[in-house]
Amino acid sequence: MRKLGRHILAEFSGCDREVLNDLQAIECHLKEAARKARATIVDSVFHQYNPHGLSGVVVIAESHISIHTWPEYGYAAADFFTCGDQVDPWEACRYLKEKLGCRDLRTREIARGIPGGNDEILPHKPVESPMARGELA
Amino acid sequence: MRKLGRHILAEFSGCDREVLNDLQAIECHLKEAARKARATIVDSVFHQYNPHGLSGVVVIAESHISIHTWPEYGYAAADFFTCGDQVDPWEACRYLKEKLGCRDLRTREIARGIPGGNDEILPHKPVESPMARGELA
């Protein structure tokens, strides 16, 4: 595979149920997790469900971080998908584990990219382009 | 695992490069893909990068569909994460493959949920709650 990104799928269980249902807290924690990973936040969307549970996605210049929570199960499914070698998705994952009061974290890291090739790592941003970190369109 | 959702990670390569850089087209296709899966669209966010490439996420009541494109490689990484038995993430995946003019699609389907248990399937929405499909908070 010609690799472009790293994608961590995280199952957070045994979490603080109140935090999992607190939209403002989750938004704050997810954005801070992105910063911990040294990602550049581009946009975000958060939604609270009735009677409980919420979804949140932070789009970053390096892909995205997402969460879906089930307070009734004390569980959240989160994704940390990052491209490039300037960001570390594990920093975001560890930060969120702490903030959710998670007692059981299971993760799988999956390489994303173009099938075939010799396991080379492709640049995820054009070389010599004006789009350096933080200089978005 | 006590299963809550199905997550398809899709690598779309050999795609139409113009489509991959067309924000309006991608937004249209991603939302229609969600409808093809019989998902309920909650919110969405799309962003165009300079000089090319884009990110898009459609939050659905059943989790999310996302895409990140690299027109320069003719490649897009997409995720189809759905919960519940009313939606079919594969319908969305197949639809998007066609609309991207994709010649090589590689997918991995990963179960999401709470580690442990007897492979039971948990209800992803509270039973008997007013939150039926399409009746969001």
pLDDT tens column, A71-100: 999 999 999 999 999 999 999 999 999 999
How does pLDDT run across B74-94, given as a tens digit for each residue? Answer: 999 999 999 999 999 999 999
d(CA B136, nearest CA chain A) in Å: 6
User: What interface predicted TM-score (ipTM) does this complex get?
Assistant: 0.90
Give me B101's structure tokens.
Answer: 């003019």
CB interface of A with B, residues 62-121, below 8 Å: 63-64, 66, 68, 70, 72-73, 75, 77, 79, 81, 83, 104, 106, 108, 110, 112-115
Helices B89-99 and B23-36, packing angle to 10 deg:
150
d(CA A81, nearest CA chain B) in Å: 10
- The residue from B83, B93, B102, B124 that is catalytic is B83
pTM for the whole structure: 0.91
